[in-house]
Amino acid sequence: MVQKAKPPAAAAEPKRRGRPRAYEPDIALGKALDLFRRQGFASTSLDDLSEATGMNRPSLYSAFGDKRELYIKSYQRYREDARASMAEIFRQEMPVRQRLERIFASALNIYLSGETGPRGCFTVVTAASEAVGDPEIRAMVLDGLTELDKAFANCFRRAKEKGELPASADPSVLAQLASATVHTIAIRSRARVPRKELEAIVTGAIDVMVGGKR
Amino acid sequence: MVQKAKPPAAAAEPKRRGRPRAYEPDIALGKALDLFRRQGFASTSLDDLSEATGMNRPSLYSAFGDKRELYIKSYQRYREDARASMAEIFRQEMPVRQRLERIFASALNIYLSGETGPRGCFTVVTAASEAVGDPEIRAMVLDGLTELDKAFANCFRRAKEKGELPASADPSVLAQLASATVHTIAIRSRARVPRKELEAIVTGAIDVMVGGKR
DNA sequence: GGATTAACTTGCGATATGGTACAAAAAGCA
DNA sequence: TGCTTTTTGTACCATATCGCAAGTTAATCC
């Protein structure tokens, strides 16, 4: 039930007035995200969330709203994190192959980490869940899929401009193949396919996309 | 609550002894499958299943066992259907490209059909659900993924033997790309990506796998 | 027609779940 | 020291869910 005994989290705080919070919203949201990602929306109870975050239900409620809102906020958080690591990879100039390797390695790390087994990709998990019945959630999922496509397309477009790919290469087709590779490893990771095999799939896909190993 | 008013389903029946069933197990299982596929395990209640199948809960029980068993039987049924259409496609001799087109078209039909929106792929839905926590279900999912890989590998191996693919082509790598394409359209279909776009993804992937359109 | 068999219908009980009301607690402010 | 403000902790409610028990109905067998 306890989360952390350090109330003065960030340095500068404007001296809040009432009783201090016993939790840090950011890390609590992270715990909720982990749970939702592993168990899905429907089979994660508020009791589970309460235990994982160290907050009791009323606190959860006042901090994040009801279960659906908490799920949405968790997903947004997931996307922000993913975007951040993507941006990091796109910051420097490098060969396509290397950039692809980094992107896939990052994906694998996200999907395979987790204390109680691989967690997979939250976008894929949400897409496959009953939650897609909710139009707002479905829109977010679609946006997540599109964002990944665009990142890969950007990657291949740059490569083509630099002459790393033949003129016949279609960046958007390659991007969809790359996204497909991400999706397949996300799914396989949930089935506990060992890391080695997932890495082999990635390597094979890269070879096909940018030309054989060298 | 009513399912069908035709008791003498198949022609030859060994004259059962007690009160006749008011349902046909096969079509009931199909309805259950539809529901599970759309809503997932956790958020499909026995009441939902009862209504969809036209059987009340005790009948469901005696026919299929508890909810988990029903889910497993639904998944097995799904796999049998998928295997059957695969076998059909592999029956005759044809160019790789055409065979791939048929396989993907079949997948699209399965994923996009459904009265209340696309249903997606049951293997993918199960992989992404909380049900993977169950070792037996996880094993079935893994088996489903592997079976698809093998079917595609078989397809590419034949093509290579017939000289349709260059000697450098690696059937198992191509197979994983093809599976990845299936997985990505399964996921996107759940996000309601329109059929046209999914078909474009398939076409692009085929071009990359077996060489440009001709 | 009566016995037997198998399925159907109704209804229940134990538990879990999402959500909330209300009072105690811990801080600042005067 | 009292007062206000914000959060926590406990308890609760209405509902939903799974699974099953007991009795009823409809068919065949003798």
Over the stretch A56-79, which tens digit does the pLDDT of each residue have?
A: 999 999 999 999 999 999 999 999
8 Å CB contact of B129 and A128: yes
Residue A86 in any domain: the answer is yes
| One-letter amino acid of B194 | P
pLDDT at position B7, please? 41
In the predicted structure, residue B5 carries a pLDDT above the cut 60: no
Over the stretch A160-169, which tens digit does the pLDDT of each residue have?
A: 999 999 999 9
Q: Which of A111, A122, A125, A132 to mutate to test the interface with B (most CBs of B within 10 A)?
A: A132
In the predicted structure, residue B22 carries a pLDDT above the cut 80: yes
Q: Do A67 and A50 contact (CB within 8 A), yes or no?
A: no
Residue B51 in any domain: the answer is no
**CA–C1' nearest nucleotide, residue A55:** D8
Residue B98 in any domain: the answer is yes
Residue A1 in any domain: the answer is no
CA angle B159, B164, B166 (to 5 degrees): 105
Residue A103 in any domain: the answer is yes
Q: Do A184 and A190 contact (CB within 8 A), yes or no?
A: no
| Residue with the two structure tokens 């982990």 | A34
pLDDT at position B1, please? 43
Residue A9 in any domain: the answer is no
% of chain A at pLDDT higher than 90 = 83
Q: Which of B184, B197, B214 to mutate to test the interface with A (most CBs of A within 10 A)?
A: B184
CA distance B172 to B90: 17
Domain boundaries, position A177: 77-210
Mean pLDDT of B143-157: 98
In the predicted structure, residue A151 carries a pLDDT above the cut 50: yes
CA distance B186 to A205: 19
CA distance B23 to B168: 55
Q: What is the CATH classification number for the domain harbouring A176?
A: 1.10.357.10
Over the stretch A172-209, which tens digit does the pLDDT of each residue have?
A: 999 999 999 999 999 999 999 999 999 999 999 999 99
Instruction: Report chain A's C-alpha Rg in angstroms.
Output: 20
Over the stretch A77-132, which tens digit does the pLDDT of each residue have?
A: 999 999 999 999 999 999 999 999 999 999 999 999 888 888 899 999 999 998 88
Confidence class for position A145, pLDDT limits 50, 70, 90: very high
Confidence class for position A2, pLDDT limits 50, 70, 90: very low
Domain total in chain B: 1
In the predicted structure, residue B47 carries a pLDDT above the cut 90: yes
| Residue with the two structure tokens 């910051």 | A91
State CA A57 to chain mean position distance. 26
Q: Do B189 and B111 contact (CB within 8 A), yes or no?
A: yes
- The C1' atom of C29 and the CA atom of A65 lie apart, in whole Å, by 30
Select from B148, B142, B177 the least CA-distant residue to A201. B177
Residue B126 in any domain: the answer is yes
DSSP state of B21: P
CA distance A164 to B153: 29
Token readout for A160 is: 């083509």
Residue B11 in any domain: the answer is no
pLDDT at position A13, please? 59
Contacts of B142 (CB under 8 A, 6+ apart): A191, A192, A193
CA distance B87 to A16: 68
Query: Which residues from chain B sit within 8 angstroms of residue A43, using beta carbons?
Result: 41-42, 130
Token readout for A35 is: 């749970």
Mean pLDDT of B195-206: 98
pLDDT at position A1, please? 45
Q: Do B23 and B3 contact (CB within 8 A), yes or no?
A: yes
Q: What is the DSSP string of A126-182?
A: HHTSGGGGSHHHHHHHHHHHHHHHHHHHHHHHHHHHTTSS-TT--HHHHHHHHHHHH
Categorise residue B112: left if φ over 0, alpha if ψ from -120 to 50, beta otherwise: alpha
Q: Is B42 in a helix, a strand, or coil? A: coil
Residues belonging to chain B with any Cβ–Cβ distance to chain A shorter than 8 Å: 38-44, 120, 124-125, 127-130, 132-133, 138, 141-142, 145, 168, 170, 172-174, 176-177, 179-181, 183-184, 187-188, 190-193, 201, 204-205, 207-209, 212
Over the stretch B78-129, which tens digit does the pLDDT of each residue have?
A: 999 999 999 999 999 999 999 999 999 999 999 999 888 888 999 999 999 9
Select from A28, A39, A205, A27 the least CA-distant residue to A122. A39
User: Which has the minimum average pLDDT: A13-17, A31-35, B39-43, B193-197?
Assistant: A13-17
Residues 40-79 of A with CB under 7 A from strand C: 44-47, 57-58, 61, 66-68
pLDDT at position A5, please? 41
pLDDT at position B6, please? 40
